[in-house]
Structure 1
Amino acid sequence: MAAQSFDLIVIGAGPGGYVAAIRAAQLGLKTAVVEREHLGGICLNWGCIPTKALLRSAEVFHLMERAKDFGLSADKIGYDLNAVVKRSRGVAKQLTSGVGHLLKKNKVTVVMGEATIPTKGKVSVKTDKGTEELTAKNIILATGARARELPGLEADGDLVWTYKHALQPPRMPKKLLVIGSGAIGIEFASFYHTLGADTTVVEVMDRILPVEDAEISAFAKKSFTKQGMTIKEKAMVKQLDRGKGKVTAHIEVNGKVEKHDFDTVISAVGIVGNVENLGLEALGVKIDRTHVVTDEFCRTGVEGLYAIGDIAGAPWLAHKASHEGVMVAELIAGKHAHPVKPESIAGCTYCQPQVASVGYSEAKAKELGYEVKVGRFPFIGNGKAIALGEPEGLIKTVFDAKTGELLGAHMIGAEVTELIQGYVVGRQLETTEEDLMNTVFPHPTLSEMMHESVLDAYGRVIHM
């Protein structure tokens, strides 16, 4: 069979790949996307989306337990874990079929199978019907990443879980150990703890949520501890002894090894890029610690070959992948493309309380040589937060003292994952403290705290 030829072939149909394919098709490029498992990738099927559905169930359950605080009564509150999971899977399925529809609507050719790149400009796809040969001048690698497995801590689906098992749990954990306190670890810890699991989180770094501003990490730790979670920082799980229905974890804290029993362990210790079996080494692609090395335009250094999203390194976020996909499609189509700056990408964690940030932490800004002005505003000083029954939280802003540039914003509390976008837009428009101070924020809203935090950085805070 003759090889099908395209202007662009995208390998991987996650939020990087499918978005790149759609944008390329919109720009008139004949485009194909190759996917080995599910349209929508990990994000839609096993990541961002189904976890948010689970966390929403936990949030509603938590509110039901607090009914009395709101002058309401709710008796015999409970949950059906299978039904909670079923809803989450339904949400994922609905969105996945939506991706298929979008690709079809934009006339993108979808090839389901496993891709390799035998030579430059050629993609060979192993499908269930045999092998299909595709050719294109441009190829985008968007193969994503998978959970990192540490020796001795490998998942078995019964006692030790990865995120996939945690999304379709065989049972409700009673005593849970979560290894790793990045977004994935903390979200699962938050979900299971809210539903009643006695939860311990172990983090090897000196604080949980290590990519966040130190003040936010400290606030989160205090909040989780108050909820009854056990948090162990500067700690390492050395080994897991698996028995019948229980795991004994050897946890090293301050040079001493403690032994604790759990019935379930969730490993969330980072990710590794899906770089194997594609033929990248033979093509001369540079790979550094399982990630493809690229320039700011996602070019790999091999002509016509680009890499976007998780396979191209941190930050490992769906929205970064999508934006890179659009940028590369526009670059290939000869448009003026804007590189994606890592520090202008917001990170969101949907635990309880939520965490969100953009730009530099206070420590990072100082390390880069900035003289900073820092503002803070607590949720307790905000009318809407108190009316919502969510008085715990903090908004922190970091400015360049010399120019008034907004260097970073960091938040913890109710709905901050929605609020952060205000600061993201501000940074994109190169706003200064003056612009933000002169902006009229609607009342009563949580967003007013964003205003007050800016005012506080310049000694002009009103409600504190």
Structure 2
Amino acid sequence: MEQFDIAIIGAGPGGYASAIHAAKSGMKVALVERYKVGGACYNVGCIPSKILLEHSKLVQEIQRGNDWGIETPVINVNFPRLMQRKNAIIQELLANIEHFIASNHITFYRGEATVAADLTVTVGQETFVAKDVMLATGSKPFVPPFKGLKNSPYYTTDTFFEIAELPQQLTIIGGGVIAVEMAFSLAPLGTKVTMLNHSEDILQTEEPDARPIIREKMKNLGIELITNFQFEHFHGNDIYTSKGIYTYENLLFATGRRPNTEIAQQLELAFDGRLIAVNQHYQTSHPHIYAIGDLVGGYQLAHAASAEGIYVVDHIMGVKRTVVDQGLIPRCVYTQPEIATFGLLEEQVEQAYTVTKMPLNTNPKALMEGNVEGFIKLMTTKEDGQILGACVVADGATEILNAILATKNAGGTVSALANMIFPHPTVSEHIGDGAKAVFDKAIHQ
């Protein structure tokens, strides 16, 4: 029976990144995947949704050009060609991952894995053993058990990205990041989007000041947002709610995800509610079995899972590292404008701390680009200049945030940001001005 230093179950972002890191660190690695490399992120999640968002963003850029005087009388959306491009990009990315796996001499098993308590792993007719096992099996879409739903047609994100024609109408149930991004990806292309969110507001995990900006943009895109109601039941293509009946042509559930814990249940690992219980090193109740990503809570993000898996590999090898700090994991919403955040939100900071907010309507580059909806916000301590958190709402916010996060990771303070010379004109120079505002020395305020 072949023996490995580590067996990683799941080849999504957490699994394949961990496997490559382990192989480059000198470990003999087995990687198992029952579906496709890249997991949900690359196949039915963040990558296909972001590709559609780029298509929609381009349509909005063309429309803005018309407003400026660069006139394009007609915008024709060839949706099948857009989907062909989506498929081609994904196939190229998956081929890259397959290449990285092979070039690092990782033994790759395709199929459903079962794991025994003695760390024997079986995939189909093949069996091997590992010194340690990492579970990186990800999650699946959650659909609430609404009355009558079993007789109603609907999509989840696992099935939606295979559509061949642009929907004329789409109703999205949910109000979180996935739901809002899907609305932004379809509405500019010409789909009439209705979003049903029973809560009082959308994006409730995000910076509150960002939400009105996104709601207003949704309104401008023609997205109908219905909030603060109760679902009653489904009947065919009708959704009965406390606010009335909503009829749909196409329905997408974007109501969160649930972890794939089948292997953990078979092993009778300890659970913390619906999640696998782990210590700070992501070690389960079995000392040689680890779990990462969507299985253990925290942020359900690809880069979070990758960071956790790489940490596990280093821990197994005896490399001393600080544990993964959830406060340093960036959170991103790829709307237009984007929202990018790390650390504390304003509502979470104590009164003794300093919050500065620089609106983009005073930023030259933002004005040039026509992207003035947004702001750069810093949460800091004035006494020693520690950066507690940041939020950027802007076109390209997910890139702009990195300057603040890199400063924080390097041990820098808000003084370092205030003294940094940013290029002009850039949107990111508002970071420096926001840092100066901590000391009441902002230029554009």
Instruction: Name the TM tier (shorter chain).
Output: over 0.9
What is the CA–CA distance in structure 2 between the aligned matches of 1:77 and 1:102, rounded to whole Å?
40
Are the structure 2 counterparts of residues 284 and 105 from structure 1 closer, same or farther at C-alpha, using a change threshold of 3 Å? same
Match of 1:454 in 2: 435
SS in 2 for 1:168: coil
Q: Is the 2:8–2:30 contact (alpha carbons within 8 Å) kept by the matching residues of 1? A: yes
Match of 2:281 in 1: 297
Q: Is the 2:149–2:233 contact (alpha carbons within 8 Å) kept by the matching residues of 1? A: no
Are the structure 2 counterparts of residues 94 and 236 from structure 1 closer, same or farther at C-alpha, using a change threshold of 3 Å? farther
Q: How does 1:217-228 map to 2 (within 5 A)?
A: 217-228=211-222
Q: Which runs of 5+ in 2 are unaligned?
A: none
SS in 1 for 2:283: coil
Are the structure 2 counterparts of residues 195 and 453 from structure 1 closer, same or farther at C-alpha, using a change threshold of 3 Å? same
The one-character-per-residue Cα deviations of 1:63-103 (angstroms, maximum 9, x if unpaired) are 12222234322232111111111111111110001111001
Are the structure 2 counterparts of residues 34 and 425 from structure 1 closer, same or farther at C-alpha, using a change threshold of 3 Å? same
The one-character-per-residue Cα deviations of 1:172-217 (angstroms, maximum 9, x if unpaired) are 3333221112221111111111112222223333321111111112
Q: Is the 1:142–1:309 contact (alpha carbons within 8 Å) kept by the matching residues of 2? A: yes
SS in 2 for 1:177: strand
Q: Is the 2:6–2:27 contact (alpha carbons within 8 Å) kept by the matching residues of 1? A: yes
What is the CA–CA distance in structure 1 between the aligned matches of 2:117 and 2:254, rounded to whole Å?
36
Match of 1:49 among 47, 50, 59: 47
Q: How does 1:23-38 map to 2 (within 5 A)?
A: 23-38=21-36
TM-score by length of 1: 0.91
What is the CA–CA distance in structure 2 between the aligned matches of 1:306 and 1:122, rounded to whole Å?
15
- AA of the residue aligned to 1:433: V
Cα deviation for residue 121 of structure 1 reads 1.4
TM-score by length of 2: 0.95
Match of 2:96 in 1: 98
What is the CA–CA distance in structure 1 between the aligned matches of 2:406 and 2:280, rounded to whole Å?
21
Match of 2:240 in 1: 250
- AA of the residue aligned to 1:174: Q
- Range 47-56 or range 134-143, more displaced: 47-56
- AA of the residue aligned to 1:135: V
What is the CA–CA distance in structure 2 between the aligned matches of 1:450 and 1:147, rounded to whole Å?
37
Q: How does 1:262-273 map to 2 (within 5 A)?
A: 262-273=248-259
What is the CA–CA distance in structure 2 between the aligned matches of 1:452 and 1:237, rounded to whole Å?
46
What is the CA–CA distance in structure 2 between the aligned matches of 1:153 and 1:401, rounded to whole Å?
53
Match of 1:445 in 2: 426
The one-character-per-residue Cα deviations of 1:344-368 (angstroms, maximum 9, x if unpaired) are 10011111221111111111223xx
Q: Is the 1:202–1:233 contact (alpha carbons within 8 Å) kept by the matching residues of 2? A: yes
SS in 1 for 2:101: helix
What is the CA–CA distance in structure 2 between the aligned matches of 1:238 and 1:395, rounded to whole Å?
41
Match of 1:357 in 2: 341
Q: How does 1:10-25 map to 2 (within 5 A)?
A: 10-25=8-23
Match of 1:194 in 2: 188
The one-character-per-residue Cα deviations of 1:293-343 (angstroms, maximum 9, x if unpaired) are 111211112111100111121200000111111111111122123311111
What is the CA–CA distance in structure 1 between the aligned matches of 2:294 and 2:64, rounded to whole Å?
39
Cα deviation for residue 156 of structure 1 reads 8.2
Are the structure 2 counterparts of residues 132 and 153 from structure 1 closer, same or farther at C-alpha, using a change threshold of 3 Å? farther
Q: How does 1:299-318 map to 2 (within 5 A)?
A: 299-318=283-302
Q: Is the 1:397–1:408 contact (alpha carbons within 8 Å) kept by the matching residues of 2? A: yes
Q: Is the 1:45–1:93 contact (alpha carbons within 8 Å) kept by the matching residues of 2? A: no
What is the CA–CA distance in structure 1 between the aligned matches of 2:15 and 2:144, rounded to whole Å?
28
SS in 1 for 2:121: strand
Match of 2:379 in 1: 398
Q: Is the 2:231–2:240 contact (alpha carbons within 8 Å) kept by the matching residues of 1? A: yes
What is the CA–CA distance in structure 2 between the aligned matches of 1:190 and 1:418, rounded to whole Å?
19
Residue identity over aligned pairs, in percent, reads 29
SS in 2 for 1:461: coil
Q: Is the 2:9–2:135 contact (alpha carbons within 8 Å) kept by the matching residues of 1? A: yes
Match of 1:231 among 225, 245, 260: 225
- Range 332-341 or range 442-451, more displaced: 332-341
Q: Is the 2:283–2:291 contact (alpha carbons within 8 Å) kept by the matching residues of 1? A: yes
- Range 298-307 or range 280-289, more displaced: 280-289
What is the CA–CA distance in structure 1 between the aligned matches of 2:157 and 2:384, rounded to whole Å?
43
Q: Is the 1:358–1:423 contact (alpha carbons within 8 Å) kept by the matching residues of 2? A: no
Q: How does 1:142-157 map to 2 (within 5 A)?
A: 142-152=136-146
- Range 315-324 or range 66-75, more displaced: 66-75
The one-character-per-residue Cα deviations of 1:236-277 (angstroms, maximum 9, x if unpaired) are 4332221xxxx222233xxxx32122212211111100001x
SS in 2 for 1:207: coil
The one-character-per-residue Cα deviations of 1:89-128 (angstroms, maximum 9, x if unpaired) are 11111000111100111100000010111223111112xx
- AA of the residue aligned to 1:319: H
Match of 1:138 in 2: 132
Q: Is the 1:166–1:188 contact (alpha carbons within 8 Å) kept by the matching residues of 2? A: no
Count of aligned positions: 445
Aligned-pair Cα RMSD in Å: 2.0
- AA of the residue aligned to 1:249: I
Match of 1:82 in 2: 80
Cα deviation for residue 157 of structure 1 reads 12
Q: Which runs of 5+ in 1 are unaligned?
A: none
Q: Is the 1:220–1:412 contact (alpha carbons within 8 Å) kept by the matching residues of 2? A: no
